[in-house]
Amino acid sequence: MRYGLLSDIHGNLEALDAVLEAMAGERIGHYLCLGDIVGYGASPNACLDRVTGLTTDVIAGNHDHAAIGKLDISTFNPYAAEAALWTRQQLTPDGRRYLGDLPYVRRIDDLFVVHASPARPEEWTYLTSPWQADEAFEAMPDGVALCALGHTHAPLIFEKPNAKDRSRQIPPTALELASERRYIVNVGSVGQPRDGDPRAAYCVYDTEMKLIEVKRVPYDLEAAQRKIRKAGLPDLLAERLELGR
């Protein structure tokens, strides 16, 4: 099986369509969406339509909850809060219900998916350090070799060699999974990358080859920026797309 993993679309339809086009040539057998379909970008409803047409294996992100009032946005920065309120006005009743019903985690065979961290998924912590990875590996269900997540918008891999050794961070390149080890892979962001590379990110997990790879694809960034400005969303949300920050 080849899984197609996408996360943090954030209402960026241009990036999502470029990723879906690239993934169409990847022999993907099953798609999974790791949350934050909406928030920041100007096309929340169109992105929701694309995702619901693609897969039922979708989990909640913090911006999905913020957009329906399920998460308090007082901790959001002013730009994120403004975008959340704008998105709230755009969503259809069906869209709101759909986002509100999404689970925090899913398990498909030996693959576990969560938006932020397997350790207390509903707290939306940023998993960026080996000690946080240790805690996350502890929280992963038995028999799960790989956890895929998003949330930070930057691809990242943690490896746990065995039960007693600490987690270590390894470069987010194509990786062959060793059968006795466990892994956490951050698949990056489709619609708002923050690792300095403005290209949209997606991930392919091939269970036969035991290979996981985060890939990048360019998209019509100017079109996404124009829509953000036309919608009256904060200009910074358009600017950051070309910076990949």
Rule CB under 5 A: which residues touch Zn ion?
8, 36
Q: Which is nearer to Zn ion, 7 or 225 (CB)?
A: 7
Write down the least CB distance from residue 155 to Zn ion, Å: 13
Position of minimal CB gap to Zn ion: 36
Write down the least CB distance from residue 47 to Zn ion, Å: 13
Write down the least CB distance from residue 26 to Zn ion, Å: 23
Q: Which is nearer to Zn ion, 8 or 206 (CB)?
A: 8
Torsion of CA 43, 49, 51, 52, to 10 degrees: 150
Write down the least CB distance from residue 236 to Zn ion, Å: 16
CA distance 27 to 39: 29
CA distance 101 to 54: 17
Write down the least CB distance from residue 88 to Zn ion, Å: 16
Q: Which is nearer to Zn ion, 8 or 159 (CB)?
A: 8
Q: Which is nearer to Zn ion, 8 or 17 (CB)?
A: 8
Q: Which is nearer to Zn ion, 146 or 154 (CB)?
A: 154
